[in-house]
């Protein structure tokens, strides 16, 4: 039988768990009293599941790292958009792809195009998040939300945040994703106006306003590999 490489983490937990990570490593978490033999036989029992997971991760598409040049594809609202020179924009109507029209990008260095792209993206993203924020505030009018306003910035680890003073910040990158995913994050931050912690009360509001939030969170995670 083929043996599986794994790292072992012992802790106070009560059961053994196997975690297969996207980078195709395997971690076994086990209670402190468990012997190595027990871990190995548990791993053997679950071998086919582990191998399936490993295969799944090995088949994942490469992370999309778009360049900043004419014709390159970038995502907005879950749809592929092509960077085009603003002059050519009317000609691109028939290609079937939405476009991101930027002024004077022919023969220009990619870091210059990136700056123009970022300006376009920030403007569109802010308009989008503000519109969804206003829309969902209306849907939640019966909950008498305290006041809030929207800002955006690029963030590494979060899709959004909300302060006790009602300043809601969205990750600019979130604008790449389908509207259903964006709405789940917007509602999440608005629910923080009612309940600051991620406790049961918070998730009751979430499920009341946006029953599909779990599926959307999951989709957001899956898609983050492709965009
Ligand atoms: Zn939160």
CB atoms within 10 A of CB 156: 6
pLDDT value of residue 118: 95
**Hey, which residues does 26 pair with through a beta bridge?**
20
Pair 85, 53 in one domain: no
Domain-located, residue 88: yes
Question: pLDDT (tens digit, 9 = 90+) per residue, 61-93?
Answer: 666 678 999 989 999 999 999 999 988 766 655
Gap from CA of 211 to ligand 1 centroid (Å)? 16
> Do both 148 and 110 map to the same domain?
yes
- Spacing of C-alpha 108 from chain mean position: 31
In a domain, 64, yes or no: no
What span, in angstroms and rounded, lies between the C-alpha atoms of 178 and 18? 32
105-164 tens-digit pLDDT: 988 899 999 999 999 999 999 999 999 999 999 999 999 999 999 999 999 889 999 999
For residue 14, report the distance from its CA to the centre of ligand 1, in Å.
29
| Gap from CA of 4 to ligand 1 centroid (Å) | 37
CA distance linking residue 2 with residue 69, whole number of Å:
47
In this structure, the answer to whether residues 111 and 210 fall within a common structural domain is yes
Q: Are residues 84 and 15 in the same domain?
A: no
pLDDT at 144: 96
* pLDDT per residue as tens digits for the range 125-142: 999 999 999 999 999 999
Same domain, 105 and 51: no
Name the band, by pLDDT with cuts 50, 70 and 90, for residue 97. confident
* Domain co-membership, 105 together with 19: no
Question: What's the mean pLDDT in 174-188?
Answer: 96
Q: How many domains would you assign to the chain?
A: 2
Q: Which residues pair with 57 in a beta bridge?
A: none
Whether pTM > 0.75 for this model: the answer is no
Q: Are residues 80 and 45 in the same domain?
A: no
Considering only residues 200 and 12, tell me which one the structure prediction assigns the higher pLDDT.
200
Same-domain check for residues 31 and 85: no
Residues 37 and 85 in one domain: no
pLDDT, mean of residues 175-184 = 96
pLDDT at 166: 96
83: exposed, middle or buried (Cβ count in 10 Å: 0-12, 13-18, 19+): buried
Task: Establish if 39 belongs to a structural domain.
Answer: yes
Rounded to the nearest angstrom, the distance between the alpha carbon of 190 and the centre of ligand 1 is 9
Q: Distance from the CA of 20 to the center of ligand 1, in angstroms?
A: 26
How confident is residue 190, by pLDDT bands cut at 50, 70 and 90? very high
What residue has token string 């800002």?
151
CA 196 / ligand 1 centre spacing (Å): 8
SS3 130: helix
Mean pLDDT of all residues belonging to the chain: 90
**Pair 40, 81 in one domain:** no
Measured in degrees and rounded to the nearest 5, phi and psi for residue 6 equal -155, 160
Q: In which domain, by residue range, is 24 found?
A: 7-58
Token pair, residue 67, equals 């360049």
Structure confidence at residue 165 (pLDDT): 95
**Is 50 within the bounds of a domain?**
yes
Per-residue pLDDT of 8-28, as tens digits, reads: 999 888 899 999 987 888 999
Q: What is the pLDDT of residue 206?
A: 97
């Amino acid at each position: 039988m083929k043996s599986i490489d794994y790292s072992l983490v012992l802790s106070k937990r009560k059961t053994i768990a196997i975690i297969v990570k996207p980078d195709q490593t395997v971690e076994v978490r086990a209670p402190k009293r468990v012997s190595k033999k027990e871990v190995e036989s548990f791993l053997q029992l679950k071998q086919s599941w582990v191998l399936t997971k490993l295969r799944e991760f090995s088949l994942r598409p490469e992370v999309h790292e778009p360049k900043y040049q004419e014709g390159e594809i970038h995502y907005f609202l879950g749809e592929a958009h092509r960077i085009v020179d603003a002059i050519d924009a009317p000609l691109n109507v028939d290609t079937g792809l939405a476009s991101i029209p930027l002024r004077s990008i022919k023969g220009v260095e990619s870091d210059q195009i990136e700056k123009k792209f970022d300006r376009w993206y920030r403007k569109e993203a802010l308009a989008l998040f503000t519109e969804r924020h206003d829309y969902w505030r209306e849907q939640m009018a019966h909950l008498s939300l305290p006041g809030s306003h929207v800002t955006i910035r690029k963030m590494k680890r979060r899709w959004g945040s909300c302060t006790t003073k009602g300043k809601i910040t969205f990750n600019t990158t979130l604008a790449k994703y389908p509207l259903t995913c964006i709405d789940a994050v917007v509602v999440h931050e608005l629910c923080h106006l009612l309940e600051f912690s991620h406790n049961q009360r918070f998730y009751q509001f979430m499920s009341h306003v946006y029953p599909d939030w779990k599926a959307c969170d999951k989709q957001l995670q899956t898609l983050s590999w492709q965009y």
